[in-house]
Amino acid sequence: MPTATTTIVAIDILLEPDARMLERAEASNARLLQAYPNGFALDAAHRPHITLLQCFVPAEGLDKVYAAVDKVFKSANVPSLNLEGYKYYYAPTPGATGVAGICARPTPALLKLQADVIAAATPFTVKTATIDAFTAPHDNPAMDAAMIAYVGEFVPKYSGEHFNPHVSTGAGSRDYLDKMLAEPFEPFTFSPAGAAVYQLGPFGTAARKLKGFDLRNEATMTTPAMQSNPAAAALPSWNDGPAKQSILDFVNRVTTAGGPDFVPAPDRIAVFDNDGTLWCEQPVIQLVHIMERWVEMAQQNPALRDQQPWKAAVDNDMTWFRTAIKKHYGGDESDMPAIAKGVLSAFEGLTTEEFSARVDAFFRTKSHPKLKRLYRDCGYAPMVELLRFLEAHGFMNYIVSGGGRDFIRQIAGEIYGIPPERVVGTSSSIGFREQGDGGDLLMKAKLDVFDDGAMKPARIWSRIGKRPIFAAGNSNGDIPMLQFANRPPRPALRLLVLHDDAAREFDYVSGAEKSLALAKQYGWTVVSMKNDWKEVFHL
């Protein structure tokens, strides 16, 4: 710990990642040390972490920083943050070297947490210090100066819109790091497992732990009753009632070893519809994205303006689309060929990377007309919470959607913590275009699979190879998937989201009439958005 003689302390207020990130970080560190033995190992003096704030604090002010930051962590549900590691990066350092790391996407919740931490700690900070504020100097004085400058400039240069959340994994030569960055990177999801304040060491490492924090917020603090039944502290965004209790009871039954309903972890498969189940479907988010493209196409080819669905897109006629979708769920497919033709032709010829870039830009710039929030922020908070709860109890979660597979894949990791390989959905055909010693995948104007209705269980078997024991949906198109989850005597839970909250979202049953009737007939769990959820969206 710093003593009274250590006038200023360089600190890192940080998040400690879970085992999923630690495994990837340690693998990266091992290869970096092999290529550059003069780097650093991830050990007790170099703890993997995600920095929220680096700053200089007088030693006598540390306790004030701890107290202020503790309030922030207690008010935030930090363990529920769903983060995605999605690429390697490195920061150049003197001597043709660099410090490498794994980047996490800066989600709105993570950005807000950082802003709150900065606001809480800033009154107790000073602008600069000497290298004595760190646990030890570097062998290179230029590196000492670089680290002092980095910490002093952290807030204006490396926070907010400039924030690059990452876990540093080691050091290496820039030539080697450039090659590493050019390699394919397999994205993965993770969450914070802890939060702490560390004194900074060489290379900006978390070298000496000064303070750890209890991440439980008021919604998850246990009472004596909860301590005898830990599951009761789960799902804090859900109101107590039959829906929440059915989930807790089911999970308890299938995870109790030796019990009559125990299901081994590899067989705990959960499948979720997306539109209207995990995120808002009024309007259908993907449809908004496609309509923008149809308007572009009609501008380029005016003859399309009198043809559906381009006509409806140009006229912004959402009623035509809602009617077509309602007819589809009622068994009338008369408008679907026109919609399918428009959907398939919209992105013909784009590479998969070009399509992903368009989708990413859409989610980061376009907002819902009623909810007044970015579309990327229209995921249902209680359902995301449910995904984390199931994961914590050994479930493997999949999205099985009638929506576009590649559209959902682009954002599923950030919103839901579900990686792209666990997204099953409607897809167009894709072809390969050779280019020298490389090539691209191009989207074709031909349907591959329309993943709705009876196709959902078929695709579950094709892609997963196992029957789920948990299935959640919200419409008639989800009925076969919910039915497929049931195979007595094995336990199953079928969940149906009911949109009955006009104040916080929407109130409608169109397209869900048959599924609600079956839910009543067979005892499926109906989740009332109005009555069962304390909140619909994260603030």
Q: What is the rounded distance in angstroms from the CA atom of residue 379 to the CA atom of residue 536?
A: 8
Q: Are 16 and 192 in contact (CB under 8 A)?
A: yes
Q: What is the pLDDT of residue 98?
A: 92
Closest Cα partner for 117 from 45, 68, 152?
68
| Number of residues that this document lists for the chain | 539
Say if residue 42's pLDDT is above 90.
Answer: no
Count of beta carbons in the 10 Å neighbourhood of residue 39:
21
Q: What is the pLDDT of residue 61?
A: 93
401: number of CA atoms within 13 Å, CB side? 26
Which CATH architecture fits 270-532?
A: 3-Layer(aba) Sandwich (3.40)
Question: Could you read off the pLDDT of 108-153 as tens digits, one per residue?
Answer: 889 999 999 999 999 999 999 999 999 999 888 888 999 999 999 9
pLDDT band (50, 70, 90) for residue 1 = very low
Dihedrals φ, ψ of 255, to 5°? -110, 0
CATH of domain 8-212: 3.90.1140.10
Mean pLDDT across 171-177 = 95
Identify the residue with better confidence: 530 or 108: 530
Helix (H) or strand (E) holding 298: helix 285-300
Q: What is the pLDDT of residue 3?
A: 46
Q: What is the pLDDT of residue 529?
A: 98
Chain-centre distance for alpha carbon 427: 22
Q: What is the rounded distance in angstroms from the CA atom of residue 448 to the CA atom of residue 309?
A: 20
pLDDT band (50, 70, 90) for residue 313 = very high
What ranges in 138-284 are assigned the alpha helix state H? Answer: 141-152, 154-158, 174-182, 224-228, 242-255
Question: Could you read off the pLDDT of 333-386 as tens digits, one per residue?
Answer: 888 888 888 989 999 999 999 999 999 999 999 999 999 999 999 999 999 999
Q: Is residue 233 packed enough to be buried (19+ CB in 10 Å), middle (13-18) or exposed (0-12)?
A: middle
Say if residue 5's pLDDT is above 60.
Answer: no
Q: What is the rounded distance in angstroms from the CA atom of residue 89 to the CA atom of residue 281?
A: 36
Question: Could you read off the pLDDT of 81-93 as tens digits, one per residue?
Answer: 778 899 999 998 8
Which distant-in-sequence residues (6+ apart) come within 8 Å of 207 by Cβ? 45, 46, 134, 135, 136, 198, 199, 200, 201
Identify the residue with better confidence: 47 or 410: 410
Say if residue 223's pLDDT is above 50.
Answer: no
Count of beta carbons in the 10 Å neighbourhood of residue 390:
18
Q: What is the rounded distance in angstroms from the CA atom of residue 182 to the CA atom of residue 186?
A: 13
In the chain, list all ranges with CATH 3.40.50.1000: 270-532
Question: What residues are paired with 447 via a beta bridge?
Answer: 428
- Identify the DSSP state of 80: G
Please report the beta strands in 296-453, taking only residues with DSSP state E, as ranges in sequence order.
Answer: 396-404, 423-435, 438-449
Phi-psi region of 355 (alpha: psi -120 to 50; beta: other; left: phi over 0): alpha
Q: What is the rounded distance in angstroms from the CA atom of residue 95 to the CA atom of residue 107?
A: 34
Give the DSSP letter string of 11-49.
EEEEEEE-HHHHHHHHHHHHHHHHH-TTS--SSTTSB--
Q: What is the pLDDT of residue 538?
A: 79
Identify the residue with better confidence: 63 or 215: 63
Please report the beta strands in 308-464, taking only residues with DSSP state E, as ranges in sequence order.
Answer: 396-404, 423-435, 438-449
**What is the rounded (10 degree) CA torsion for 384, 221, 247, 378?**
-20
pLDDT band (50, 70, 90) for residue 314 = very high
The mean of the pLDDT values for the chain is 90
Which distant-in-sequence residues (6+ apart) come within 8 Å of 357 by Cβ? none
Say if residue 233's pLDDT is above 70.
Answer: no
In the chain, list all ranges with CATH 3.90.1140.10: 8-212
Question: Could you read off the pLDDT of 251-294 as tens digits, one per residue?
Answer: 999 988 888 999 988 899 999 999 999 999 999 999 999 999 99
